[in-house]
Amino acid sequence: MSADRAADWAADWAADPSRLSVRYRITGRDTAEVAEAIRVEQTIEFPVELAAGWIQEEVVGRLERTSGDEIVVSYARGVIAGGLTQLLNVLWGNVSLFEGVRVTGISLPDGGASLRGPRFGTSGVRALFAAPRRALLATALKPMGSSSAELAEVAGILAAAGIDIIKDDHSLSDQPWSPWHERVARCSEAVAEANARTGGRSVYMPSLNVPAPEVAERAHAAKELGAGALMALPGITGFDAMRALADDDSLALPIMSHPSMLGSLVVNRAQGISHGLVLGLLNRMAGADLSVFPNHGGRFGFSEAECAEIRDEAVADRRPLKPTIPSPGGGMTVERVPEILDFYGNDVALLIGGALHRGDLATNAARIREAVEAAAERA
Amino acid sequence: MSADRAADWAADWAADPSRLSVRYRITGRDTAEVAEAIRVEQTIEFPVELAAGWIQEEVVGRLERTSGDEIVVSYARGVIAGGLTQLLNVLWGNVSLFEGVRVTGISLPDGGASLRGPRFGTSGVRALFAAPRRALLATALKPMGSSSAELAEVAGILAAAGIDIIKDDHSLSDQPWSPWHERVARCSEAVAEANARTGGRSVYMPSLNVPAPEVAERAHAAKELGAGALMALPGITGFDAMRALADDDSLALPIMSHPSMLGSLVVNRAQGISHGLVLGLLNRMAGADLSVFPNHGGRFGFSEAECAEIRDEAVADRRPLKPTIPSPGGGMTVERVPEILDFYGNDVALLIGGALHRGDLATNAARIREAVEAAAERA
């Protein structure tokens, strides 16, 4: 489905633009019964007949329509007051404990105007890298066990070769082999030196897989040490912690979302929340400028259709929310670049991992940069 | 399985007590292949043969054993350095994106000594309520839509009738009908007044379903306003945010964990993490003194065996971690009390919801208090 079609279809089922509308697919259960359970469970969680009449009318969720195995329930704006955490709670809180229920559509009240979403969006991120047309390139520093000096050396080589985003592998935290502050300082420095030599604009992006109360403070520390972007792990520290990073005007760095621990929300196809909504829309609502997810055909089991759904939810017109740049990874090689760009278009950040390290790192990185430039020329 | 058997069995499969050992059940996939993928994916995420020899030996996870469809992979302590967030990342980060993999056992290095776990534990919570033997009683203020004055009135009635923990319904956040600070002030006051009249020790427990950067500050605000306990939602703001609350010596309030959004981790039986580990052990590792989960036979689909597993993981001997009090809820009525106490024993906090509101609230609450006292006499 194209981005345009995704937007049309969103408009089609979500009746009342002042309410949060959620579309659920019900599998192996009585649709009417589950609809009734959901609209109560996600709001008053109380015997409906014992609630005041106006609460039954105004507060309890409203079943808007049933179509085959899908239902649409809408919720008043007051129900989701309290920020993104309460929006998530209404979207999936107790229903997450139901079997056979999957969220397949979300329509935000007033188009999501209460959420700022990505600070930079596609064009903002492109401006930072002075890359108006070509696909962006990202890679991860690894393997765990390497020293900060070793990782910084690799970061410098990758920056000099034209990789835009050089991020911590999501496995890197505060291990003895490369403590967090030391790594952030060394890698930021190495990337800055490479940029100074080449005139490039690469950034080092540390991981904020750190204790929850330190997420904001480490983000600021990273900026002071020279990091040019940040990676958040919403499956571990929560979508709202990422949202707070994106909304922080004194930080103002692009944010990449990593899918660690988010998998169980999506991979069980009769339960959870659809791939596109979690890795496209929720990340976007929570301010991710870039969203990492496993590409189809790699070592994870995401299908082409599911990856297309992520791409579409990341970029479909949901003004005032800016788009999020899809960042597919896993099994990415220079040979696959044309095929992958055919699929995602050039508004993408290719996440290249181990493949860069087979043979000469600088050569491999330069080849992939050439490949995306050539593709942008042809487009 | 009894708590003792759970402990024996844990000791049996976890070979090296200095390492994190994780047991995975593999469904519908080649066990050896998945084992190899997991030990790399959760550590270096890099072609093993390209890593230094010592990294292959010391950093990559180690396949400890295969037994039928189960495997045990262990991880060096250095790999999980960085706190609970990195422990979760190693436990379930990228593997969450695999189909057919479920975590069925966790053995913490040195018994979890780096984690403080619950501050109060069963005996500490019992001491707060001067309830050395009987089952504790908890209920939620609802329905959403009620004003703070209405909720406070209900809180006072419940406290006077002997309900120990009067918590916000997890749906209550910062809605216009009852803004968070107003509700916390009014309900704390109403419970304090009831205690002053009756000599009781009931507590009001507000929900910390608030913006992520405000979790700690609202917890302190709640304490200042008179709240005697706190409810955290680790599925929304993360397990580590809850851990930080529990570890905060200047706060020192009992913490209840609510399962909102955690469902998809457990309900798909061939994927995710077992019920007992998520709702028993992870909550306990993250400092929950009480863990809410849906009881079997209620409106959610948890089985008796799954509830027993939660109970066992909450309380099994994992010194130095104190036990977490299981708090089953959903479909709880006064008639079911004997059966439920038979199942969980008296070291439990029964979470009674809508049933209290059918008929006279004070009478219903007093009856359930009498029922748990009578059961403790008989035991």
Amino acid letter, A10: A
A42 neighbourhood in chain B, CB within 8 Å: 171
Other beta carbons within 10 angstroms of residue B365's beta carbon come to 24
Phi, psi of A347 (to 5 degrees): -80, 70
- Helical (H) or strand (E) element with A75: strand A70-75
Q: What's the confidence (pLDDT) of residue A209?
A: 97
> CB distance from A236 to chain B under 8 Å?
yes
B92 neighbourhood in chain A, CB within 8 Å: 261, 264
**Cα angle: B363, vertex B378, B296; to 5 degrees:** 65
The rounded distance, in Å, linking the Cα atoms of A358 and A355 is 6
Q: What's the confidence (pLDDT) of residue B207?
A: 98
Contact (CB, 8 A) for A347 and A123: no
The string of pLDDT tens digits covering residues B59-115 is 999 999 999 999 999 999 999 998 999 999 999 999 999 999 999 999 999 777 789
A325-328: long-range contacts at Cβ-Cβ below 8 A with a sequence spacing of 24 or more?
A: A325/A122, A325/A125, A325/A136, A325/A289, A325/A290, A325/A291, A325/A349, A326/A280, A326/A290, A326/A291, A326/A293, A327/A138, A327/A256, A327/A290, A327/A291, A327/A292, A327/A293, A327/A351, A328/A292, A328/A293, A328/A294, A328/A295
Asked if the Cβ–Cβ distance from A42 to B89 is below 8 Å, we say: no
Q: What's the confidence (pLDDT) of residue A10?
A: 53
Asked if the Cβ–Cβ distance from A264 to B260 is below 8 Å, we say: no
Quote the mean pLDDT of chain B: 94
Is residue A190 helix, strand or coil?
helix
Q: Which residue of B99, B174, B213 is in closest CB contact with A216?
A: B213
Residues 6 or more apart whose CB falls under 8 angstroms from that of B12 comprise none
Q: Are strands A255-257 and A165-168 parallel, antiparallel or unpaired?
A: unpaired
Confidence band of B355 (pLDDT split at 50, 70, 90):
confident
Contact (CB, 8 A) for B99 and B272: no
Q: Are strands A255-257 and A290-294 parallel, antiparallel or unpaired?
A: parallel
Q: Select the more confidently predicted residue: A124 or B14.
A: A124
Q: How far is B118 from chain A (nearest CA, A)?
A: 17
Q: Select the more confidently predicted residue: B9 or A239.
A: A239
Place of tokens 């490949």: A371
Provide the terminal-to-terminal Cα distance of chain B, rounded to the nearest Å.
21
Q: What's the confidence (pLDDT) of residue B228?
A: 98
User: Residues 291-350, chain B: which have Cβ within 8 Å of A?
Assistant: 294, 299-302
Is residue B8 helix, strand or coil?
helix
Confidence band of B375 (pLDDT split at 50, 70, 90):
very high
Q: Per this entry, what is the length of chain A?
A: 379
The rounded distance, in Å, linking the Cα atoms of A268 and A102 is 9
Asked if the Cβ–Cβ distance from B143 to A55 is below 8 Å, we say: yes
The string of pLDDT tens digits covering residues B264-302 is 999 999 999 999 999 999 999 999 999 999 999 877 889
pLDDT at B151 over 80: yes
Dihedral angle, C-alpha B253, B258, B261, B267, nearest 10 °: 140
- Helical (H) or strand (E) element with A249: none
**pTM, full prediction:** 0.96
Q: Which residue of B145, B216, B299 is in closest CB contact with A52?
A: B145
Q: What's the confidence (pLDDT) of residue B10?
A: 53
Q: How far is B377 from chain A (nearest CA, A)?
A: 32
Contact (CB, 8 A) for B287 and B255: yes
> CB distance from A98 to chain B under 8 Å?
yes
The rounded distance, in Å, linking the Cα atoms of A76 and A307 is 31
Contact (CB, 8 A) for A68 and A27: no
Contact (CB, 8 A) for A129 and A120: no
Contact (CB, 8 A) for A327 and A290: yes
Phi, psi of B167 (to 5 degrees): -105, 160
Is residue B23 helix, strand or coil?
strand
Q: Would you give the distance in Å from CA B205 to the centre of its chain?
A: 15
Q: Per this entry, what is the length of chain B?
A: 379
Residues 6 or more apart whose CB falls under 8 angstroms from that of B378 comprise none
pLDDT at B11 over 60: no
Q: What's the confidence (pLDDT) of residue A1?
A: 43
The fraction of chain B above a pLDDT of 70, given in percent, is 97
Closest chain A residue by Cα to residue B236: A238
> CB distance from A174 to chain B under 8 Å?
yes
The rounded distance, in Å, linking the Cα atoms of B98 and A342 is 26
Q: Where are the alpha helices (DSSP H) in chain A?
A: 3-13, 31-41, 53-58, 84-92, 121-128, 148-160, 180-198, 215-225, 234-237, 239-247, 263-266, 275, 283-285, 304-315, 337-344, 361-378
Q: What's the confidence (pLDDT) of residue A169?
A: 97
> CB distance from A37 to chain B under 8 Å?
yes
Q: What single DSSP character describes residue B176?
A: T
- Helical (H) or strand (E) element with A325: strand A325-329
Q: Where are the alpha helices (DSSP H) in B93-179?
A: 121-128, 148-160
- Please list the residues that pair with A80 across neighbouring strands: none
Q: Return the structure tokens found at B238.
A: 């993360």
The ranges of chain A with pLDDT < 50 are 1-2, 5, 8
Is residue A112 helix, strand or coil?
helix
Q: Are strands B136-141 and B165-168 parallel, antiparallel or unpaired?
A: parallel
ipTM for the whole complex:
0.96
The string of pLDDT tens digits covering residues B178-205 is 999 999 999 999 999 999 999 999 999 9
Q: How far is A312 from chain B (nearest CA, A)?
A: 20
Nearest alpha carbon to residue A169 among A289, A256, A253, A276: A256
Which of B60, B89, B172 has the highest number of chain A CBs within 10 A, making it the mutation to test binding with A?
A: B89
Confidence band of B1 (pLDDT split at 50, 70, 90):
very low
Query: DSSP string covering B202-259, please?
Result: -EEE-B--S-GGGHHHHHHHHHHHT---EEE-HHHH-HHHHHHHHH-TTT---EEE--
Residues 6 or more apart whose CB falls under 8 angstroms from that of B333 comprise B352, B355
Q: What's the confidence (pLDDT) of residue B276?
A: 98
The rounded distance, in Å, linking the Cα atoms of A34 and A100 is 9
> CB distance from A89 to chain B under 8 Å?
yes
Phi, psi of B291 (to 5 degrees): -125, 120
Q: What single DSSP character describes residue B98?
A: S
The rounded distance, in Å, linking the Cα atoms of B209 and B222 is 13
